[in-house]
Structure 1
């Protein structure tokens, strides 16, 4: 059986607001299927991202699927407005009532995901919960990719849930991420600004990836 194709989601965190809809359309024509909407409260993570209303409007106009990444201290208060149009809603482990927020996401008919910031211990989560490993500090778009995140990906990789990597993910990092066990990649500037987004997406969705090696997932 061939390996499953990697899910790729584009983040528009660093994209000028007046260009977001156009970039979503351009990437959709290149083969993108999912937009990754970041939302912060300015407390858990630096201010930035999108409101649910902004994200919903662009999603509806693009025809793309949507997922939400809530970098907020109280995710339970916010998940309903995102499950209205997102297939997946991700909240951060260690935030207030984060487990209840995951339960609420499921009750609303969406997939639930838990994000792990650098240095956060991997928690026990309900089977089937997607896991998003952060390779930068949340809210610090443009930061350098933290290689230690690949070890965390390897730690949480298992059948039954997607394992994602988010933060500083460039095309050059794709092979190492896939060998580490990632099945879901989130990329902002490197994908959105790429002159060859189709090639970027094709590289990320490669199948038959070689088995991971210690040097692929260990700290650099």
Structure 2
């Protein structure tokens, strides 16, 4: 299981030290959220701040854009993220995905728990939400597990990630369902989080 760390719940003054600490314990990838307050509750990071922390930490990065107009946002994120997730519920995602590809990064699709997955493209990385987008710190919703199994049936080779409320105790269930990578925030950045996740943290390539 591959882990991408989220700093959403880390106070700004502690973020750089947290990145350094997690990197020293084996984390190799950061997950950056950006929300515009329209598609989801406002929060997350600006591309400029995320880029600074990524470069200072020397880690790989991916972005999750919870925004109503992703096309206007993607250029800044492609400067330092190799994968950028757009929400399938946003009408303009295909145009933004094309822009991401043209700038040398890989577009992926994020999908809410309530959204159908049957007609989604089968050749794009998928980020399955296990909480309501923008509600960091929420409890993991187990309805995501059968959705992941269905996506794996539809496309056995697709990259599948889960984001929201993931704790160390859920890793076995997520792996059994077919998840390849997970976004972990609160449970990883807690005081003993790096120790609790130490046997799971692996480089992502």
- With structure 1 as the length reference, what TM-score do the two structures score? 0.86
Aligned counterparts of 1:107 and 1:149: Cα–Cα separation in 2: 31
> Is residue 82–residue 89 contact of structure 1 (8 Å, CA) maintained in 2?
yes
Match of 2:165 in 1: 168
Q: CA RMSD in A?
A: 1.5
How many residues of Structure 1 are paired with residues of Structure 2 in the alignment? 200
> Is residue 70–residue 90 contact of structure 1 (8 Å, CA) maintained in 2?
yes
1:96, CA displacement in angstroms?
Answer: 3.1
Match of 1:139 in 2: 134
Match of 2:125 in 1: 130
Structure 2: gaps of 5 or more residues? none
Match of 1:209 in 2: none
Structure 1: gaps of 5 or more residues? 1-5, 206-220
Where do 4+ consecutive residues of structure 1 move more than 3 Å?
123-128
Aligned counterparts of 1:194 and 1:201: Cα–Cα separation in 2: 13
1:159, CA displacement in angstroms?
Answer: 3.6
Q: 1:113 aligns with which of 108, 111, 115?
A: 108
SS in 2 for 1:14: coil
- Structure number with greater CO (CA < 8 Å, separation at least 6) is 2
Aligned counterparts of 2:132 and 2:33: Cα–Cα separation in 1: 13
1:7, CA displacement in angstroms?
Answer: 2.2
Does structure 1 residue 68 correspond to structure 2 residue 63? yes
Match of 1:184 in 2: 181
Change (3 A) 1:183 1:136: same
Does structure 1 residue 40 correspond to structure 2 residue 28? no
> Is residue 8–residue 201 contact of structure 1 (8 Å, CA) maintained in 2?
no
Change (3 A) 1:88 1:130: same
- With structure 2 as the length reference, what TM-score do the two structures score? 0.92
1:128, CA displacement in angstroms?
Answer: 3.3
Q: 1:18 aligns with which of 1, 9, 13?
A: 13
SS in 2 for 1:203: coil
Aligned counterparts of 2:198 and 2:120: Cα–Cα separation in 1: 30
